[in-house]
Chains A and B, each alone.
Chain A
Amino acid sequence: MVRTFSEACLTVGTLIVLFVAYVLLWTGVKADRAMDGELARLRDSWSAAARAPAPGPAPTPVPAPAASPGAEASPEAPAGYPAGRAFAEMYVPRFGADWHKPVLEGTGTELLKKGLGHYAGTARLGAAGNFSVAGHRRTYGDPFKDFPELRPGDAVILKDATSWYTYTVRAGPLRILPTETGVVDPVPDRSPFTVPGRYLTLTTCDPEWGHSHRLVVWAELTGTRPVARGGPEGLRS
């Protein structure tokens, strides 16, 4: 009897250790693999889109997705990105020189295991409104682990098929309640912005291992440049 009980305790203990290892390590391994896959697919689709049109004139510095005639992007700006697919890459120099993650359309649980999630219904990259992105702070690769290190003035750089977009952090990180959905409004609640503009909002969970609050950072578009002219300063590639 005592023997069976101690064996049961040992089994439960082993299960817990295995589960912790799964959450801390294995989800990261899986997410890194998934994110690399998404990035590779994204770059493939970009190079395919770049090869498809006849070699035309030099790219115009217009952020509109006019240069992708495939099924990629529709010409009218209000249309959303295809759900569940990666459509951009994000670089945040504050998180490290080699930190870059795919941004996927949607914020579902399964989707956030493969990259950062763009809130469906918020603005497109570089467009007027609020381009809002959520990401894991812990588990699944810890993409937003250093979120609290962000400071006003930091750059959040995004790249899509045609352009680089540099957003500059203006406020945050601010701790808010999960119900404060106004922070992803076109003119975000509680942000220093008061007039419509081209904004970016990042959200993640707070505390680090909990879900009682969210952390949020707001940024403002400060520059765009065509992909052909290379990445913005502060970025090597």
Chain B
Amino acid sequence: MYGWIWRQLPGNAWVRALISLVLVLAVVYVLFQYVFPWAEPLLPFNDVTVDEGSGATP
């Protein structure tokens, strides 16, 4: 998978390394900005009030 991506990138090894770095940063940005904020409420750390168990929101 990663070997295939590497082979698709243009340029010599340095250019490919640079593009790879940019791709990795882009992926991390998308994860932190969109994917993780969506996934985080599925974890239980947000339940700090005494009403969520009963489903009643004051």
Contacts and interface: CB of A to CB of B under 8 A. Distances in A.
Given A177-B53, A181-B50, A7 B45 contact: no
Contacts of B57: 107-108
B44 A23 contact: no
Given A18-B28, A112-B46, A211-B45, A181 B40 contact: no
B48 A137 contact: yes
Contacts of A237: none
A96 B33 CA distance: 32
Interface residues of A, number: 44
A237 to B, nearest CB: 27
Contacts of B10: none
Contacts, number: 93
A178 B36 CA distance: 26
A180 B51 CA distance: 8
Contacts of B3: 3
Contact of B48 (A19, A23, A203): A203
Given A122-B58, A178-B54, A179-B53, 7 more contacts: A22-B40, A23-B36, A180-B50, A181-B50, A205-B45, A211-B44, A214-B50
Q: Which 5 A-B pairs have the closest CB atoms?
A: A178-B53, A211-B44, A211-B47, A179-B53, A134-B49
15 contacts: A18-B36, A23-B36, A107-B48, A107-B49, A107-B58, A134-B48, A134-B49, A138-B45, A139-B45, A140-B45, A178-B54, A179-B54, A184-B50, A211-B46, A214-B49
